[in-house]
Each structure stands twice: as structure tokens, then as C-alpha cells.
Amino acid sequence: MMLWLNYRRITILHYLVTVFIYFALSSILLEPKPAVGASAADGWVRIVIVNDEFDSAVSFLKSSIEEEGLTIANEGDVADMMSRTKNAVDEPVTVYEKAHIFQFCSAKLGFKLFAAAPETLAACPLTIFAYELKGKAGDVYIGYRRPPKTTNERVDAAFKEVEALLARIVKRATE
């Protein structure tokens, strides 16, 4: 009887350890990775890399923007524009396989910004980008430009809300 209880305890312990290791490794391996390029390291841009098809990642991103009650005012195909104009500027390098920017505005945050300082109009519209590098299919970079720090506390408070919104959209799109 004692041998059976010990075996049962070992089996349950083995099971619990196995489950813990599985979840720990899956959260590490499947979690979207923050980008570590020079721009991201400088702190002026936030980027998350997801392993997905570009069109699928963009669909999640659009849905995430719309789930905030926002309307995408403009979607720009940057990769297409660069492809069309690279000969005109004598630039043979193709950086992006696909690259889109999404512009939108939050009226609520816009009013807060403009009331704090009229020149914050320069921060609108808000922009989130998604791109896939040439030759690196399956890694989609999704991110945004961080709002600047200022000496105006009201502007900084509004910019903090802007960044929280952008971070929430990217997080939801990349989970």
C-alpha cells in the first residue's frame, strides 16, 4: 500500500512538473517578441514581432483599431510606394516585402491634446505600422511612434493616454 501511494505521488508530481514546463516554455516561445533593432532600442518607437502571415496580422491590427471604436482614416501601402518610386530616386534596395501604415484619430484624446496645447495638432493622426522585411516572410513587425515628452504637464498627461491607446491596440493585435 505504501509503495502504491508513493508511486501515485510521484506520478502526480511528474504530471504537475510536466504541465508547468509546458506552459512556461509555450509562453516563452509563443509570446510575441519585442523588437531589438536600433530604433526600438532608442525608445522612440515600440515594435512587437509576431510570427504570422502579413495579411492575417494586418487583419488583426485593423480589428484591434476598430475594437477601440476608431475608424481607420487612411491605409498607406508603403512597400508599393517604394517599389514604384525606387528607380526615380536611383535606389535599388528593397527593404520591405510588405509595409502598411494605418492612420486614425481619437476625438476624445484629440480634444484633450488640443486643449492642452494647440500645436499638438502635429501629433494627429495617430499612426500604427505593420511591415514584413524582404526575405523574412512570417515575421511581421507591428508598432507605433511614441509620443514625445514635453515640459507641459497637461500635454504629457494626454500623450500618456495616447501611448496607452496605441500600446493597447498593438497588444490586442499581437496576442
pLDDT at 33: 53
For residue 147, the SS3 value is: coil
Spatial neighbors of 82 by CB under 8 A, at least 6 apart, are 94, 95, 96, 99
Query: For the chain, how many residues are written?
Result: 175
Query: With 0-12 CB in 10 A as exposed, 13-18 as middle and 19+ as buried, what is 74?
Result: exposed
Instruction: Compute the average pLDDT of residues 103-119.
Output: 95
pLDDT at 19: 36
List pLDDT tens digits, range 112-145: 999 999 999 999 999 999 999 999 999 999 999 9
Residue 15 has pLDDT above 80, yes or no: no
- Could you give the C-alpha distances from 125 to 75, 109, 166, in angstroms and in order? 12, 11, 12
Spatial neighbors of 152 by CB under 8 A, at least 6 apart, are 116, 117
Residue 12 has pLDDT above 60, yes or no: no
Q: Distance between CA atoms of 82 and 126, rounded to whole angstroms? A: 22
Instruction: Compute the average pLDDT of residues 97-103.
Output: 97
Spatial neighbors of 115 by CB under 8 A, at least 6 apart, are 154
pLDDT at 22: 37
More confident residue, 41 or 93: 93
Output the average pLDDT for the chain.
Answer: 82
pLDDT at 45: 92
pLDDT at 40: 57
pLDDT at 30: 41
- Could you give the C-alpha distances from 30 to 24, 72, 78, 171, in angstroms and in order? 10, 29, 28, 14
Q: Distance between CA atoms of 99 and 87, rounded to whole angstroms? A: 19
The domain 33-174 belongs to what CATH superfamily? TT1751-like domain (3.30.310.70)
Q: Which residues pair with 1 in a beta bridge?
A: none
Domain ranges across the chain: 1-31, 33-174
More confident residue, 5 or 147: 147
pLDDT at 43: 82
pLDDT at 94: 87
